[in-house]
Amino acid sequence: MTEQSKKLLLSARYTAIAIIVVIASLFLIACDNGEDMAQPEETGENEEAIDQDEVTENGEVIATVNDEEIYRTELEQAMEQEMMQYQMQGVDLESDEMAEMLDELEEQVLENYFIVPTLVRQKAEEEGITISEEEIEARFQEYAEAFGGEEELLDQMAQVNMSREDIDQDIVRELTVQNYLDQYMEDYLEENPEEKVVEEEIELTTAELEEHYEQLRAEYLEVQEMLEEDDPEMPLEQIEVYYQQLVERYGEALEEDDFEAIKPQLEEEIRHQMAEQMKEEKVQRVLSELVSQLREESDIEIDL
């Protein structure tokens, strides 16, 4: 299948993965909130003892990023979410291969869940990035839609002692990082205009278009055959959705094997896909360089 076709056919799966990511993010914050709520309210002379209790509750400090501490319990919660992802992908968590890669996976989770986001968030706060109420509400509504509605989202979060205020705080952290990175990338391209990807300048040969068309038509015929098969294990509903999308996008051109009829449309679509891929690769490179720079400027200690 072409990359475009895979995206169309598996759009439901990608939506599900996005929801899982949202749940994982909110769950990690909720666990911390639950621990905080369990602490008794004390003041005065017991303040130092309470602080020690909180550290004990959170577990040992396994890393610091510019004096901001990361605790063992936080990493364990993130690891649980990561292992859940592997399990959903059919990976045997009890296999020897999985056991061998656990240490490496733990390091990656610490890096991706904590070290890098903390570095960027600290830089964003230093740069004075702020989030408006409108932005918070818009992202909250995105979360709500992913959960099946605002009421369902709040009910699910209440089960882990997480309020609307807690969700909003999480959203602020998320958007602070996102907005800073967006602004950083925008400033970078203004300073380096030669690195901007201009979609209209991407050239495609007729041979490339014909190859893409042949793949697309082969998929179209394959999907037709799949719909005619009586196989209970086939995800017929998703296949039917994909088939209808092909028909809506390309009309009868695929059925009639008419390349010339959809050549202009294919050229536009492929050029757009290539441009988006090039932009994504550039963003990854530039932001990777940013993180490397932040690392050099920061005091990071890791003790797994």
Give me the mean pLDDT over the 6-19 stretch: 31
**Alpha-carbon gap, residue 108 to 302, rounded angstroms:** 12
Report how far apart the first and last C-alpha atoms of the chain are (Å, whole number).
42
Among the candidates 196, 213, 230, a domain finishes at: 196
Q: Higher pLDDT residue, 12 or 198?
A: 198
pLDDT at 19 over 50: no
Whether 302 is covered by a domain: the verdict is no
Please indicate, yes or no, whether residues 119 and 233 belong to a single structural domain of this protein.
Answer: no
Q: Higher pLDDT residue, 27 or 104?
A: 104
Whether 48 is covered by a domain: the verdict is yes
Whether 222 is covered by a domain: the verdict is yes
Please indicate, yes or no, whether residues 110 and 18 belong to a single structural domain of this protein.
Answer: yes
Give me the mean pLDDT over the 256-278 stretch: 95
DSSP state of 232: T
The first and second tokens of residue 32, run together, are 């911390």
Please indicate, yes or no, whether residues 74 and 127 belong to a single structural domain of this protein.
Answer: yes
What's this model's pTM, rounded to 2 decimal places? 0.68
Residue whose token pair is 């958007």: 175
Among the candidates 144, 161, 196, a domain finishes at: 196
Q: Higher pLDDT residue, 175 or 33?
A: 175
- Domain span including residue 225: 199-279
Please indicate, yes or no, whether residues 188 and 239 belong to a single structural domain of this protein.
Answer: no
- Phi/psi for 192 (5° steps) reads -130, 65
User: What total number of domains does the chain contain?
Assistant: 2
pLDDT at 235 over 90: no
pLDDT at 108 over 60: yes
The number of C-alpha atoms within 13 Å of 138 and in the hemisphere containing its C-beta is 7
Which residues, 6 or more positions from 63, have their beta carbon under 8 angstroms from its beta carbon?
69, 70, 110, 114, 115, 300, 301, 302, 303, 304
Give me the mean pLDDT over the 233-242 stretch: 87
Average pLDDT score over the chain: 82
Among the candidates 196, 212, 235, a domain finishes at: 196
Please indicate, yes or no, whether residues 177 and 270 belong to a single structural domain of this protein.
Answer: no
Please indicate, yes or no, whether residues 43 and 106 belong to a single structural domain of this protein.
Answer: yes
Please indicate, yes or no, whether residues 76 and 217 belong to a single structural domain of this protein.
Answer: no
DSSP state of 179: H
